[in-house]
Amino acid sequence: MSSNELRAEYKESIRNVIFSWLGPLGASIDEALFQVDKRLEERRFKEFIFELDSRVIKIEENSLNTDFLNSDEFYDFTRKMFSIVVKNSSKIKYEILANIFFESIHVDSNWEDDIKNIFTKIVDDFSVNHLLVFKFLVNRDYVSNIDSYEDLFLKFDDELSVGKSINKYQFRLYCSEIENKYLIRFSKRMVEIGSNGYNYSPESSDLPNITITDFGKMFIEVLEFKQN
C-alpha cells in the first residue's frame, strides 16, 4: 500500500471515529458531507445542462466560435462554470450561467474577451437576493426619482419581498454590493437609512438618483429580466 493510500485510510478511520462519537447526528453529518454530495452534484449538473441545451440547440453549427471552443481558455472557462454550478441549487443562477455560456460560444458575440469571466464571477458572488434587488432596480422606471434608501426599500418590500425576510439593512447592503460591481450608480444625494433625512453628500441635481451603467446594461442582457 502506498503512502498516499495509507494517509487516505488513516483520514477515513479518524472520520469514522469522530462521527461515531456524535451518534445519530454524526450519521446525518456524514451523509450530508460525504454521501449526498455526488448525487447533488449530478442533479445540479443535469439541471444546468437542461438549461444550456435549450439554448445551444438554437445555434447553427457555423455560428459556433470554433476558435474559442478549441482553445485552452474554453477548457478553463467551462471548468470554472461547472464548479459554480455544482455548488449552487438556484434555478435562476443556472439560467443566467446558461445565458453567459451561450453568448460566449456564439461567433457573433460582441463581448470583449474577459467579459464572460467577469459576469460568471458576479453570478457566483451574488446571492439570489442580490439578483432580486437588481431586478427590482432595473425594471422600475420610477426608482430613479426616489431619493432615499429607506423609501426605495419600502417600495421593494411592497412589490417583491413577499415571503422574503429581507430587512432594510440587508437591502442597503445588496444595493452597495451591486454598485461595487459597477452595475448601478447611486447618486450621493440618496439619503442613507437611519440618517433622519439628512443628506451628508450633496450632488448636482442634474443626475438621476439611480442610473444603470453601460456595464449594467450588458449584464441585464444575459439576465433576460426585461421579459419578466
- 48 with 92: CB under 8 angstroms? no
What pLDDT shows up at residue 170? Answer: 93
Q: pTM for this one?
A: 0.74
Q: Let me know whether 73 and 51 are in one domain.
A: yes
Q: Let me know whether 79 and 98 are in one domain.
A: yes
Residue that finishes a domain, picked among 125, 147, 162: 125
| Grid coordinates given for 33 | 458531507
**Residue 82, domain extent:** 39-125
**Locus of grid cell 452597495:** 176
What are the pLDDT digits (tens) for 31-76? 555 555 677 778 888 888 888 877 777 777 667 777 888 888 888 8
User: Which residues 6+ apart lie within 8 Å of 90 measured at CB?
Assistant: 128
What pLDDT shows up at residue 6? Answer: 47
Residue that finishes a domain, picked among 125, 145, 180: 125
Backbone angles phi, psi at 203, to 5 degrees: -145, 160
Average pLDDT of span 179-185: 95
Q: What is the mean pLDDT of the chain?
A: 77
What pLDDT shows up at residue 67? Answer: 81
What are the pLDDT digits (tens) for 1-28? 555 554 555 445 544 544 454 455 445 5
54-58, 167-171, 198-202: the lowest-pLDDT one: 198-202
What pLDDT shows up at residue 17? Answer: 47
What pLDDT shows up at residue 200? Answer: 52
| Total tally of structural domains belonging to the chain | 3
What pLDDT shows up at residue 159? Answer: 80
Q: Let me know whether 107 and 144 are in one domain.
A: no
CB neighbour class for 25 (10 Å; exposed up to 12, middle 13-18, buried from 19): exposed
Average pLDDT of span 162-175: 84
